[in-house]
Amino acid sequence: MDSGGRIWRSNFRVFQQNQPIVTSSTLCQCQCEDIYVRKIRMRLLATSACVIVAIFAIFTYFQRDRDTPDVDFLAQNISFHLNDVKISIPAIALTYFRVQPANLNPLPSWRTHAILWGSEGQFPTKEYKDALLEMAGRKGMAPNISSIRLYFGRYGTHGERLISRGICPLLTKKWSQDMCTNGRGLYGLPEHFNLETEEGLAIYDLMFFSGIKNVRGRDLIEEIKPFTTQAKVGCTDDHKYCLAGAKIFEELYAVWNVSCRGMDVAACGRASEPQGAAISNFIRTELIAED
């Protein structure tokens, strides 16, 4: 046992000799380094937070028009001529309109989404809005256009914020007030439809369908022609995409999207007839304005 004890004590002394000597100065140095590292980390976190806040502030600044709709402008009634037919609609119902190329209007063809989101990253400026109101507002002369796309949904829910609900009391037409407060599906209308002159139908040359080659919207329009007062339908071969069309006046047509899954074209046409009749009646009783 004495021999084993001596061996154990000898090994313990060797172990102690191989350990680093920890002094008070060493402990202090380690603590200081740890505090320094923590300070660096805190500074990095604070800097990162400031950068994130700055980026968010910049993004919010440039998105303010998108988040805060101009309800006073959107409630204004805008008038257009399609051939000899004059229509009047609140600006919020506009999705797209195409100015005739030969027409000397101060505005180009304009694609929007209810004039809230702008077009291709460009937001409508105050100057643009003023020009539109001067051209087509109450003091305007109702410019000639060849194509217009209208939106009939719940107008008070546009924008990232619901501030645009303030538009409802500002709208002057009963149907637009109904849309604003009660939502889509009123008057038997689809959510969107286009009004097209013969020239305006050219926009369907630019309509393509996802996953379908060598078919354009123009091909579906040709299936619908000749337009009649009863709705007719043109579809892609798989009936995944269909357009319905009806004649409203001479050389003025309504065109809208329909779903024809599980139906042949004839059956889908019959199913679309009530919407066609509703659109025609709505245009004649609610949209047409006197010169």
Chain mean position to CA 1: 90
pLDDT confidence band for 24 (50 / 70 / 90): low
β-strand partners of 229: none
pLDDT for position 64? 45
Higher-scoring residue by pLDDT: 194, 165: 194
For residue 153, what pLDDT is reported?
Answer: 78
SS3 for 96?
strand
- The 10s digit of each residue's pLDDT in 202-223 is 989 989 888 888 899 999 999 9
Q: How confident is the model at residue 3, as a pLDDT?
A: 53
Whether 279 contacts 244, CB under 8 Å: no
Average pLDDT, the chain: 76
At residue 67, the pLDDT reads 46
**pLDDT tens-digit series, residues 32-84:** 556 666 767 777 777 777 767 666 555 444 444 444 667 888 888 989 899 99
Residue 154 pLDDT: 76
- Cis amide leading into 226 (omega within 30): yes
Identify the residue with better confidence: 163 or 13. Answer: 163
Determine what percent of the chain is predicted with pLDDT higher than 70: 65
> What is residue 32's predicted lDDT score, i.e. its pLDDT?
59
Helix residue ranges per DSSP H, 116-168: 126-136
Give the pLDDT mean for 142-148: 85
Most confident of 100-114, 130-144, 237-251: 237-251
Beta bridge partners of 94: 150
68 by Cβ neighbours in 10 Å (0-12 / 13-18 / 19+) ranks as: middle
